[in-house]
A and B are shown apart, each in its own frame.
Chain A
Amino acid sequence: MSIIRTEELCKNFGDLQVLQNVNLTVNSGEVVVIIGPSGAGKSTLLRSLNTLETITSGKIFIEDNLFCRAEQGVIKEEMSKEDKKAALLDMGMVFQRFNLFPNMTVKENVMAGPVHVKKTPKEEAEKRALELLEKVGLADKADAYPSRLSGGQQQRVAIARALAMQPKIMLFDEPTSALDPELVGEVLNVMKDLAAQGMTMLCVTHEMGFAREVADKVVFMADGQILEEGTPEEIFNHPKTAKAQQFLSSVL
Chain B
Amino acid sequence: MNDFSRILTWLPQLLLGARTTIVITILAVGIGLILSLFLALGKMSRIFVINKFCSAYIFFFRGTPLLMQIYFLYFGLPQFHPALTIRSAFVAAMIAYTLNSAAYLAENIRAGIQSIDKGQFEAAKTIGMSGAQTMRLVIIPQAVRRLIPPVGNEFIMMLKDVSLVAIIGLADLTKVTRAISSSSATALVYIPAMIIYLIITALFQFVFNTLEKKYSVYE
Contacts and interface: CB of A to CB of B under 8 A. Distances in A.
Interface stretch (A31-39, A91-99, A205-213): A91-99
A88 B129 CA distance: 11
Interface in B93-136: 117, 119-120, 122-129, 133
A161 interface: yes
Interface residues of B, number: 20
15 contacts: A52-B122, A88-B128, A89-B127, A91-B126, A92-B126, A93-B122, A100-B123, A101-B138, A103-B145, A103-B218, A112-B137, A116-B137, A145-B217, A161-B127, A162-B126
Contacts of A117: 127-129, 133
Contact of B128 (A89, A95, A100): A89
B12 to A, nearest CB: 46
B123 A52 contact: no
Contacts of B126: 50, 52, 88, 91-93, 162
A88 B122 CA distance: 12
A113 interface: yes
Nearest to B142: A103
Interface string A122-148: 000000000000000000000001110
A204 interface: no
Contacts, number: 67
Interface string A65-102: 00000000000000000000100110111010101111
A186 B86 CA distance: 68
Interface residues of A, number: 30
Contacts of A93: 122-123, 126
Given A85-B128, A88-B128, 13 more contacts: A52-B122, A89-B128, A95-B122, A97-B119, A99-B117, A99-B123, A102-B218, A112-B129, A113-B129, A117-B128, A145-B218, A146-B218, A161-B123
Interface in B137-169: 137-138, 141-142, 145
Interface of A: 50-52, 85, 88-89, 91-93, 95, 97, 99-104, 112-113, 116-118, 145-147, 158, 161-162, 164-165
B219 interface: yes
Contacts of B133: 116-117
A168 to B, nearest CB: 14
